[in-house]
Structure 1
Amino acid sequence: MYAHKEFRARPLENVFNDIDVGARDWPWADRVFLADGDAMVLPTDSLHQILDHLHARLPRLVRVSSYATPDNINRKPVEALAGLKARKLSLIYLGIESGHMDVLKRIAKGASPRGIAKAIHRAHDAGLKVSCMVILGLGGREYSEHHIAATVELVNSAPPTYLSTLQLDLRRAEMPGFMPRWEKYGSRFQPLNDDECLDEMARLVTALEPPHPIIFRSNHASNALSLGGILPKDKEALLSTIALARHSGSGLRPRSLRGY
């Protein structure tokens, strides 16, 4: 998705200037997202300064959110994360992608299932809400069963506040390195079609039994089917919708309208 972008932290003065400009144009803003990549890689003191500047310029501010990697959450003490929560950082977006180590290794995730689960628990311990993403089809045909089973195990052991699915689409120009990276481990990647991705979604929804409710969504534009509900409460309704789409095509998003 970001294959053609190089991540680097911007000088704080530039960030403050952006905040000042935004506050002049949208003084009523009550929600802010810290773009792009992984703002949590910044030192905690820098994040404090950014959050304090947001609060000073936007009097109606109630929520700040950010992307995060498991590693950068795990590097910060719970007390440091709680300090960010006190400054209105309330939601982080964290990619699970898969709960299976072989799949994570092949996509160069840079995290293990244990590290991902640890990060989710750590964020929750600090009072942060966590929105996690899982990618349907990421294991291909070879790892499909293991991909979903291991992802279910991870989510059941470390349930996020929100869980969303994306659907892998190898037509996208942003993924030119996917195949070589996968195949250097000795097997050819065989992508799933829509029906197979719907089957993965059904297996995911069926097996999820989190100890507390999870808000589940598949409304990202990459998905063949858009769903929303609360697990486990809405499990049967979600499965019925998936089954209808699987057998009749009802509700499927046209490929021309899908994107990342």
Structure 2
Amino acid sequence: MIHYDMPLYRPPSEGNNLIIQATLGCHFNQCSFCSMYKQKTFQVRPLNEVFAEIDRAARVWPDAQRVFLADGDALTLSADHLLKILEKLSNSFAKLTRVSCYANPSDILRKSDEELSLLRAHKLNLLYLGIESGSATILKKITKGASPRSIQAALDKAHHAKLKVSATVILGLGGQDRSDEHIEGTIALLNNAPVTYLSTLQLFLETDEEREFLRKFAEPFQMQDDHAILLEQRKLVANIDPPNAVIFRSNHASNALALAGNLPRDRDRLVAQIDHAISHNQHLRPRHLRRL
């Protein structure tokens, strides 16, 4: 049995996969919209602890095919450290096909092309990366630690190494006053971003987190209601023209409306679904069910 250091987070698509904590907490941990790891001090788990956990997991789940490396940004580990973990996973799970983890743009940019390609060769082939917004101003206000330029460079580098990227955008992140700036900047970034998967989240702030968010935003900020969020979603979906086909989802628990399709192939259908929700206020997830 695996004993996790809580809280433990993973992307929705990793819900049925094995999770191994290679690190605890988040190395950056300064994004004002995120409270996931505020109560944890970042630590690199010793390899002997990680290996022992992998051994325990292999006894319980020997046929595991996919592994998610937690916590917040396991890609911050050195390539050598990650390779040791990946080799242990491959030796422990004969049917292993995919390893994935969260990544910050800086994690990708710090690694050489050769290191990224080597990690992929050892089955680390999917990175979850938060774009959040394509607006340089908003990224600065939320203390993301990245710019549109650095995000673009990281995505290009991952693509060159043939790594799949699942990117997320946060609807409502610019508030009412910066909504157009947020979505238009995000569209501009995504139209040049070679991502494999794209998901949207809806801004949700706990009380303590909201105070920190507003302090750092440093200007009046009004949260968007569901109608305004759906208009942002519509504008985003209607105008994305990615360099390659993108699998699109809005299945995160924070979203008012769940969507699924491929862009640009399913654009018209997705826009029609959003229009129907806007016009009829139907099929929206109740607010009490929207939690991170």
Question: What range is the shorter-chain TM-score in?
Answer: over 0.9
What is the rounded CA distance, in whole Å, between the counterparts of 1:252 and 1:129 in structure 2?
Answer: 30
User: Alpha-carbon deviation of 1:247?
Assistant: 1.4
Deviation at 1:238, TM superposition (A): 0.3
Q: CA deviation at 1:218?
A: 0.4
Letter in 2 for 1:201: Q
Residue 257 in structure 1 maps to residue 292 in structure 2: no
Are residue 9 (structure 1) and residue 7 (structure 2) matched? no
Residue of structure 2 aligned with 1:196, choices 221, 228, 239: 228
Structure 2 distance, partners of 1:6, 1:102, is 28
Distance 2:86 2:206 in 1: 38
Instruction: Say if 1:172 and 1:51 are closer, same or farther in 2 by CA, change over 3 A.
Output: farther
For residues 75 and 204 of structure 1, the distance between their equivalents in structure 2, rounded to whole angstroms, comes to 30
Alpha carbons 1:98, 1:104 under 8 Å: kept: yes
For residues 250 and 125 of structure 2, the distance between their equivalents in structure 1, rounded to whole angstroms, comes to: 22
Conservation of the 8 A alpha-carbon contact between 1:4 and 1:174: no
Aligned to 1:100: 135
- Deviates most, 33-42 or 168-177: 168-177
Q: Normalising to structure 1: TM-score of the pair? A: 0.96
| 2:251 corresponds to which of 219, 227, 233 | 219
Amino acid at match of 1:61: L
CA RMSD of aligned residues (A): 1.1
Q: Secondary structure at the match of 2:234?
A: helix
Report 1:222-241 matches (<5 A): 222-241=254-273
Deviations 1:34-87 (A, max 9, x none): 001111111110000000000011111000001000001001011100000000
Contact 2:249–2:258 (Cα < 8 Å) also in 1: yes
Q: Percent identity?
A: 51
- Matches of 1:218 and 1:79, distance apart in 2: 33
Residue from 119, 122, 138 that aligns with 2:154:
119
Q: Hey, what's the Cα distance between the residues in 2 that align with 1:175 and 1:50?
A: 37
Q: What is the match of residue 179 of structure 2?
A: 144
Instruction: Label 1:172 to 1:216 Cα distance change in 2 as closer, same or farther (>3 A).
Output: farther
1:63 matched residue in structure 2: 98
Q: CA deviation at 1:5?
A: 2.2
- 2:159–2:194 CA contact under 8 A, matched in 1: no
Alignment CA distance shift 1:237-1:172 (3 Å):
farther
Bigger Cα displacement from structure 2, 3-12 vs 72-81: 3-12
Runs of 4+ in structure 1 deviating by more than 6 angstroms, as ranges, are none
Q: Among 111, 130, 142, which residue is 1:76 paired with?
A: 111
| Aligned residue number for residue 87 of structure 1 | 122
Query: Shift of residue 179 of structure 1?
Result: 1.2
Tell me, in whole angstroms, the C-alpha distance in 1 between the residues paired with 2:95 and 2:43.
30
